[in-house]
Structure 1
Amino acid sequence: MARSIEENSRKWTAPVLMKSGEVFCPSTCVTLGPIYNESESKLIIGTGGHRGMNMKLRVFKDVDQDEECTLAESPTAIMHFVNEARAVPTIAVAAGSSLLVYKNMKPFYKFTVPSSPIIPTELEAWKAAASNKINPNTLSTVLERLVTDVSFSKLTPMSQTYILSKSNEDKLALIEKIGGKILNSGTITCIAKLTKSAADIMDILVFGTEHCDVFLIDGQAFTIIQQIKLQSVPVTIRTYGYFDVDYRIFVHTRDSLIFSIKRNDTEYKPIIVSQSMITSMILHNKSIVYTTTEDHITFCNFKGKKTGRAKCKDKVKMIEPFYYETKQLSAVIAVFDKELRMYNDSYLLDVTKFQKPLAWVKYGCYGREDSSLIVCFKDGTLGIQIFRRTANFDIRKDFNEVPPAHALKLQIPKKTKIFIDQTQRELEFSSKIHNAYQKHLFNMKFKVAESYLALASSATSSVSTTSSLPIEIAVDINGFGPTHRMTVRLLSSSRQNLYDMQISIICDPEVYEFETPLMMVPILTPGHAYTYTTLLTCKDPERATTSEVRALLIHEKRATPIVTAVIKMPFSEFPLD
Structure 2
Amino acid sequence: MSSSSDSSSREGESHSKWLDAHYDPVAGLGTFSSCIALADLHGDGDFKMVVGDMGHGPYNMKLKVFKGTGQMSENALLDLPTGVVAFLMDQNEPRTPAIAVASGPFIYVYKNLRPYFKFTLPAMEVNPLEKEVWDQAKEDKIDPVTLKEMLESIRDKAEIPLSVRSLRFMMLELQEMESFVNTYKLQPLKRQTVITCMGTLKKNMADEDAVCCLVIGTESGELFILDPEAFTILTRVSLSSVPTLLDVTGQYDIEYRITVACRNGNVYILRRDSKRPKYCIELSAQVVGLVRVQKNIMIGTSQETLHGYSQKGKRLWTVTLPASIMTMALLEQKSRGIQAVLVGLKNLEVHLYRDKNLLSVINTPDIVTGLCFGRYGREDDTLIMTTQGGGLLIKILKRTAQFEDKDTSPGPPTGQSIKLNVPKKTKLYVDQTLRERENAVAMHRVFQMDLYRLRLSAARAYVKALDASLAPVSSTMQEPLTLNAAVQGIGPQFKLILNLQNTSVNRPSMQLLISFLFDEKLYKLKPAFFKVPLLVPGLNYPIDTSVECCSNKGISDIIKVFVLREGKSTPLLTAHINMPVSEGLVAA
TM-score for the superposition, normalised by structure 1? 0.67
Tell whether 2:68 aligns with 1:62.
yes
In structure 2, the residue corresponding to 1:176 is in which secondary structure?
A: helix
In the alignment, the residues of structure 1 paired with residue 243 and residue 50 of structure 2 have an alpha-carbon distance, to the nearest angstrom, of 23
In the alignment, the residues of structure 2 paired with residue 403 and residue 53 of structure 1 have an alpha-carbon distance, to the nearest angstrom, of 52
In the alignment, the residues of structure 2 paired with residue 54 and residue 176 of structure 1 have an alpha-carbon distance, to the nearest angstrom, of 23
Tell whether 2:214 aligns with 1:205.
yes
Kept in 1: contact 2:330–2:341 (CA 8 A): yes
Kept in 1: contact 2:144–2:181 (CA 8 A): no
In structure 2, the residue corresponding to 1:83 is in which secondary structure?
A: coil
Label 1:95 to 1:174 Cα distance change in 2 as closer, same or farther (>3 A): farther
> Which residue does 1:300 correspond to in 2?
309
In the alignment, the residues of structure 2 paired with residue 262 and residue 346 of structure 1 have an alpha-carbon distance, to the nearest angstrom, of 26
> Which residue does 2:255 correspond to in 1?
246
The alignment covers a number of residue pairs equal to: 414
Label 1:8 to 1:75 Cα distance change in 2 as closer, same or farther (>3 A): closer
Kept in 2: contact 1:19–1:63 (CA 8 A): no
In the alignment, the residues of structure 2 paired with residue 145 and residue 432 of structure 1 have an alpha-carbon distance, to the nearest angstrom, of 83
Letter paired with 1:312: L
> Which residue does 1:13 correspond to in 2?
19
Kept in 1: contact 2:169–2:180 (CA 8 A): no
In the alignment, the residues of structure 2 paired with residue 108 and residue 282 of structure 1 have an alpha-carbon distance, to the nearest angstrom, of 30
Letter paired with 2:100: A
> Which residue does 2:576 correspond to in 1?
none
Kept in 2: contact 1:20–1:65 (CA 8 A): no
In the alignment, the residues of structure 1 paired with residue 25 and residue 327 of structure 2 have an alpha-carbon distance, to the nearest angstrom, of 25
Label 1:128 to 1:26 Cα distance change in 2 as closer, same or farther (>3 A): same
Kept in 2: contact 1:35–1:42 (CA 8 A): yes
> Which residue does 2:138 correspond to in 1?
130
Kept in 1: contact 2:29–2:53 (CA 8 A): yes
Deviation at 1:292, TM superposition (A): 0.9
In the alignment, the residues of structure 1 paired with residue 49 and residue 311 of structure 2 have an alpha-carbon distance, to the nearest angstrom, of 31
> Which residue does 1:144 correspond to in 2?
152
In the alignment, the residues of structure 2 paired with residue 433 and residue 354 of structure 1 have an alpha-carbon distance, to the nearest angstrom, of 73
Kept in 1: contact 2:38–2:47 (CA 8 A): yes
Q: Deviations over 1:206-237 (max 9, x none)?
A: 11111111111112111111222111111011
> Which residue does 1:156 correspond to in 2?
163
In the alignment, the residues of structure 2 paired with residue 99 and residue 167 of structure 1 have an alpha-carbon distance, to the nearest angstrom, of 35
Q: 1:25 aligns with which of 16, 27, 31?
A: 31
In the alignment, the residues of structure 2 paired with residue 204 and residue 403 of structure 1 have an alpha-carbon distance, to the nearest angstrom, of 41
> Which residue does 1:179 correspond to in 2?
186
Q: 2:394 aligns with which of 376, 384, 387?
A: 384
In the alignment, the residues of structure 2 paired with residue 146 and residue 201 of structure 1 have an alpha-carbon distance, to the nearest angstrom, of 49
> Which residue does 2:362 correspond to in 1?
352
In the alignment, the residues of structure 2 paired with residue 241 and residue 272 of structure 1 have an alpha-carbon distance, to the nearest angstrom, of 20
Kept in 2: contact 1:307–1:345 (CA 8 A): no
Deviation at 1:166, TM superposition (A): 2.5
Tell whether 2:103 aligns with 1:101.
no
In structure 1, the residue corresponding to 2:31 is in which secondary structure?
A: coil
In structure 2, the residue corresponding to 1:126 is in which secondary structure?
A: helix
Q: 2:374 aligns with which of 364, 380, 395?
A: 364
In the alignment, the residues of structure 1 paired with residue 280 and residue 365 of structure 2 have an alpha-carbon distance, to the nearest angstrom, of 39
Tell whether 2:200 aligns with 1:193.
yes
In the alignment, the residues of structure 1 paired with residue 362 and residue 183 of structure 2 have an alpha-carbon distance, to the nearest angstrom, of 56
Deviation at 1:171, TM superposition (A): 4.9
Q: 2:49 aligns with which of 27, 38, 43?
A: 43
In the alignment, the residues of structure 2 paired with residue 136 and residue 69 of structure 1 have an alpha-carbon distance, to the nearest angstrom, of 37
> Which residue does 2:233 correspond to in 1?
224
In structure 2, the residue corresponding to 1:317 is in which secondary structure?
A: strand
Kept in 2: contact 1:130–1:180 (CA 8 A): no
> Which residue does 2:286 correspond to in 1?
277
In structure 2, the residue corresponding to 1:154 is in which secondary structure?
A: coil
Letter paired with 1:262: R
In the alignment, the residues of structure 2 paired with residue 144 and residue 270 of structure 1 have an alpha-carbon distance, to the nearest angstrom, of 39
Alignment of 1:497-512 (within 5 A): none
Kept in 1: contact 2:267–2:280 (CA 8 A): yes
Deviation at 1:279, TM superposition (A): 1.2
Letter paired with 2:127: I
> Which residue does 1:516 correspond to in 2?
none
Kept in 2: contact 1:162–1:171 (CA 8 A): no
Deviation at 1:366, TM superposition (A): 0.7
In the alignment, the residues of structure 2 paired with residue 245 and residue 356 of structure 1 have an alpha-carbon distance, to the nearest angstrom, of 43
In structure 1, the residue corresponding to 2:42 is in which secondary structure?
A: coil
Label 1:131 to 1:377 Cα distance change in 2 as closer, same or farther (>3 A): same
Kept in 1: contact 2:292–2:298 (CA 8 A): yes
> Which residue does 1:75 correspond to in 2?
81
Deviation at 1:401, TM superposition (A): 3.2
Q: Deviations over 1:30-63 (max 9, x none)?
A: 1111222322111111112243333221111111
In the alignment, the residues of structure 1 paired with residue 165 and residue 115 of structure 2 have an alpha-carbon distance, to the nearest angstrom, of 26
Q: Which runs of 5+ in 2 are unaligned?
A: 414-494, 504-536, 539-588
In structure 2, the residue corresponding to 1:155 is in which secondary structure?
A: coil
TM-score for the superposition, normalised by structure 2? 0.65
Once the two structures are overlaid, the 10-residue window that deviates more, 137-146 or 278-287, is 137-146
Once the two structures are overlaid, the 10-residue window that deviates more, 15-24 or 324-333, is 15-24
Label 1:263 to 1:432 Cα distance change in 2 as closer, same or farther (>3 A): same
Q: Deviations over 1:489-547 (max 9, x none)?
A: xxxxxxxxxxxxxxxxxxxxxxxxxxxxxxxxxxxxxxxxxxxxxxxxxxxxxxxxxxx
Kept in 2: contact 1:59–1:68 (CA 8 A): yes
Letter paired with 2:141: K
In the alignment, the residues of structure 2 paired with residue 239 and residue 195 of structure 1 have an alpha-carbon distance, to the nearest angstrom, of 9
Deviation at 1:176, TM superposition (A): 3.0
Tell whether 2:322 aligns with 1:313.
yes
Larger Rg: 2
In the alignment, the residues of structure 1 paired with residue 410 and residue 270 of structure 2 have an alpha-carbon distance, to the nearest angstrom, of 36
Deviation at 1:249, TM superposition (A): 1.1
Q: Deviations over 1:262-288 (max 9, x none)?
A: 111123365111111111111111111
Identical pairs, percent: 29
Alignment of 1:413-562 (within 5 A): none
> Which residue does 2:97 correspond to in 1?
89
